[in-house]
Structure 1
Amino acid sequence: EAEDAVQEALVRAWRGLDRFEGRAALRSWLYRIATNVCISMLGASQRRARPMDLAPVSTADSPLPAALPEATWIEPIADARVMPAGGDPAEVAVARESVRLAFVAALQHLPPRQRAVLILRDVLRWKADEVAELLGTTVASVNSALQRARSTLASTKVEAGGPSEPMDDAHQALLARYVDAFERYDMDSLTALLREDATWNMPPYDLWLQTHRDIRDWCLGPGIGCKGSRLVPTMANGSPAFGQYKPSAQPGIWEPWSLQVLELSGGRISGITFFLDTARFFPAFGLPPRLEA
């Protein structure tokens, strides 16, 4: 969808180039075109979601439901594609915040124009008059849209522009313990790293788990095939992530199984999403097609 939006914005800019009068910078003119394209596309598309938005919490003995279509889900994106290369820490923090899975999920509850206003004002820190000029509206309309967007977002308990936790030594140690526990498949050690309200979910299925007991029992029951996996670190949506490889029938070979994206909060893991479409996601993240002993 993002690639389609870029293509459409460039086509519109090319067709309208003879009408560009030069009263504003070319970049600003292109930005306005791209913004309007995105707003139009959002209005025509369905809301994307996470499993927690679509179904009640499951238990370890819940049957695996049918997979839902790709267009249902919020999907991961590699940090390398969205983070400013060599950017200053403030720019990186803004970029990380704007692609967090929880924040992107919360944005789905907003109408397109409110979504644009919220991102421009609370994430990118634009002034109200700058947003009004970009969207071709008034400052009063921008302030009204922002107030409504903040009110809606508050109900999701996700803060726009809230600071992301830095990847300091403590977080790196937490991730090292997670990798060790997962690769040993020690579910007691792994669940000890989770918050009490941590979620465990697996698009394209709307099954999701929350209690430590259900997560542990599911991993040792239906998910036992993941025992013996290896993890390869990467970054997705401004968060730590891992390519997970399961043992194959061929000795000494591990095959792609999922892209794990972790969410951290308060020194613990608050959520783990297992994206199972490895044929699409592993190449996009530069992850190898298999691992060998």
Structure 2
Amino acid sequence: MRKVFFILSVLLLSSAGVMGQDQDKKAMTLRMGEFEWLDPVKPSEDKVAEIIEVVKAKVAETATASKRFEVLDEEITKNINTYFMSEAFMDLSEEQRKKEIMEAMNDNTLFGKITKCKFTKRTSGAQGYTCVLTVKLDVANAMNNAEILESRSFISNFKKMIVKNTPEAALDDALQSMTEKMTDFFANNFAVFGAIDKIKDGDAIITCGQQQGVKEGDEFQVTLATFDKGAITEKPVGIIKVKSLMADGTSICGIKDGKDAIVENNVNKSQNQWLRCKLILK
């Protein structure tokens, strides 16, 4: 069994590309979790499943368009979760487990709830279908799905609703009316994480940048992260500000606050201690 899990983990790491050495230089990861139907009015099971898949696809498309996330489908999500609960993961050295946990620090899981989905058939005036849709999205820490980071409900814009020839087109119209607000939700409500790779000429070089939507002028809270007995604790040490974005996915940051502490802890960092950075949301 351990060997099977090990092979699974190797396949996951190579095909999904979510836990390799350059993970922190890729987009933040959004793992697609379960979407539920909560509207008391329920069509056939096949129709419910069809609508859920359409909604999930649109949400995933919007999250990708926000340029903040790389979206992984539900099957890959399940496989990754299986790996983290496997004997293969538990049998890794503490250093390797820390490394893989660090590499998953920009991972989130998205859960959805369809709380209302009502189709109306119009037989007078402009004939066809309209759809009123409400979708609630919960984004959780992928390493602890009980830790909800952000939650938001989206309601289709009735004023912009256009009568469509089919229910499928009406559903797409309802989703399209939410796109702008969903894009803003994904783009502006989730902190990017990275680490200080080195201090050069008085500036901090961090392991995240343009691939995660980091911009010049963004500020990061720097903490001294300590990994011990499978858990990470953090102590704030300073603030850095992005000066320029590099082609290799890193960023050059000026040290705005706590320079002495940042420099000292960078010199003294070890396998179990490093300087972690978290984007300060404005």
Fold conserved between structures, TM > 0.5: no
User: TM class, shorter-chain normalised?
Assistant: under 0.3
User: Between Structure 1 and Structure 2, which shows a larger proportion of helix residues?
Assistant: 1
- The structure that is strand-richer by fraction is 2
**Scaled by the length of structure 1, what TM-score is found?**
0.23
